[in-house]
Amino acid sequence: MSTHAEKQAAETPLSNPDFRERLRELPPSAKLVAKVLEDETPLSQGELAEESLLPDRTVRYALNRLDEAGLVESRYSFRDARKQVYFLVE
């Protein structure tokens, strides 16, 4: 029998073959941002830049590419309604 943590890890978007195939076509920065979002979500653009060690401009580009591929969505932050936070699409 699997534990809750194992089951939850198995159900991440990155474990979905269709998600992985669409991600495969994207640049490395988008793959890194997706991996960071898999581990910690939701995150703002600034938080993604901190976690990934990528420049803000590169994170913005990566998020745009992920959004165009239908792999990421955003909503307003509950902590600061001026900011958007991003999460992977299930």
Tokens of 88: 């992977």
- Domain extent for 41: 28-85
* Residue 2 resides in a domain: no
Confidence label for 15 from pLDDT (cuts 50, 70 and 90) = confident
* Residue 45 resides in a domain: yes
Question: Domain count of the chain?
Answer: 1
* Residue 71 resides in a domain: yes
Q: How far apart are CA 63 and CA 72, in angstroms?
A: 7
Mean pLDDT of all residues in the chain?
88
The average pLDDT across 12-37 equals: 92
**Nearest to 67, CA basis, from 90, 43, 49, 88:** 88
* Residue 18 resides in a domain: no
Model confidence pLDDT, tens digit, residues 33-77:
999 999 888 999 999 999 999 999 999 999 999 999 999 999 999
Going through 2-83 in order, the beta strands assigned E by DSSP cover 43-44, 72-76
Q: Are 38 and 90 in contact (CB under 8 A)?
A: no
**Nearest to 38, CA basis, from 16, 22, 65, 18:** 16
* Residue 7 resides in a domain: no
Residue 39 is part of a domain; what is its CATH number? Answer: 1.10.10.10
